[in-house]
Structure 1
Amino acid sequence: MAAADRVALVTGAARGQGAAIAARLVDDGFYVAACDVLVDEVAATVTALGGDRAIAVALDVTSAPQWTHAVSTVVERFGALTTLVNNAGVLHRAALSDETPGGFEGSWRVNCLGPFLGIQAALPQLRDADGASVVNTCSTGAIRPFPNHAAYGSSKWALRGLTQVAAVELAPAGIRVNSVFPGPVETPMLDEATRTRLAGHALTGRIGKPTEIADAVAFLVSDHASFITGSELIVDGGQCLQIG
């Protein structure tokens, strides 16, 4: 299947990794629906891409009705949906003793419920597509524990499990489901002080760039990865090799 025949829906696409993923897929010849709850920002991101291969779609990933509307919008505009990139996420830090039910649940709703709702909403279209694929953005927080990340880490561990179950369940339908595990990346999710601190401890002497995550996603949704499903691609500059 040629990239020109592929249509991707990317969540969290207003900025950072999501914007980079949307741009890379457009460059690769995909039609792209860039989705985000930040309506003005995702519209500006699409405008910056230029051309007619991308559209901006308002989407709160925790809302099933909004997912239904987003998928319908994509199909109405581009005629199909072949590729889903569940990139939207929130980083929430709190010690166990200070965490609240609302804070904990909020992380889970965006980081795990959102991808579940997305897969469910996109499934009829993906079943009809040739070379369909899903990529979920997990985190190195789903590989090793980080203090004060109970909500974030556990939600990403859950997403890791969801990815594996979906890969097994959807493989007979020809739908590949994989995940990327970014380490620290230069996005608005991390403030400047945190970026500097993490770079100072990094094996490579720096943190990642959004385009480096986009490159990994582009590979997983391409024909070069046609025999890969249930894969966990770590893109962390060696963070998970470090002890402590």
Structure 2
Amino acid sequence: PSHAYWDLSPGLDFETRLIARTGMVERLEEELAHPRYVCRPINLSGNTDCYQPIEARYRTTRRLLELLHACRHPVTLVTKGTLVLRDIELLASMAEHRLVRVFVSLTSLDANLKRTLEPRAASPQARLKVIRELNTAGIPVGVLVSPVIPGLTDHEIERLLEAASRAGARTATWMLLRLPREVAPLFEAWLHTHHPERAAKVMSLVRQCRGGKTNEPAFGRRFRGEGVFADLIDQRFRRASRQWGLQPRAEQGLDTRHFRPPRAQQDLFD
């Protein structure tokens, strides 16, 4: 829906047109320097992947991380791309001070499904390689199984968690498919094009998990859903996580005690 806000298509424009926000580092520096600022972990990628291909040119994520590192400010990252490995040395340095956790998003291990569902994203094997290399570098890394699509990808939960654990993931969490606003008809059209034999079942299960609707915007329910099928997904996820030694997503291991607000530009990168 963010693209629709900018009068762009949530379909093709979402896949091909990116918006670069400028001035983010300067705004963050102002926020961190505010006298009443309270240090809490910041999450990058809450709305979109902070390692989109355009990051290779603009380096906004890199500059944000450098600022947060200099200020000893904790951060979490979520990505499904491989560009995160560009910053592995910086992230490893942050990890030494308990300032970072990285979550790699996995949807499916089925390469054919990935090609139609996420045509421009990294392959499942490439994402597992990211988990492996981050873990080897000493960076706490977890897996975000998302979106879980009832009737289409939920059968992979156990295999996804096994693969992530073997690659070195330490934590795991999941999110149910969300279909806000203009995304719902796009997803239904995609289903009828690529999986016509499952379309009715998938949409029926989605509505069962969303109180009869295609989407639930309420913060407490939008990520996991509700009802028998959503509960079953959660139970399976918890059981498989225990089996493979994956802890629930947690941020309490990040350290906020050594935060030092920016005072002058020369102080930031001592």
Q: TM-score, normalised by structure 2?
A: 0.38
- Please state which structure has a larger fraction of its residues in helix: 1
Bigger Rg, structure 1 or 2: 2
TM-score w.r.t. structure 1 length?
Answer: 0.41
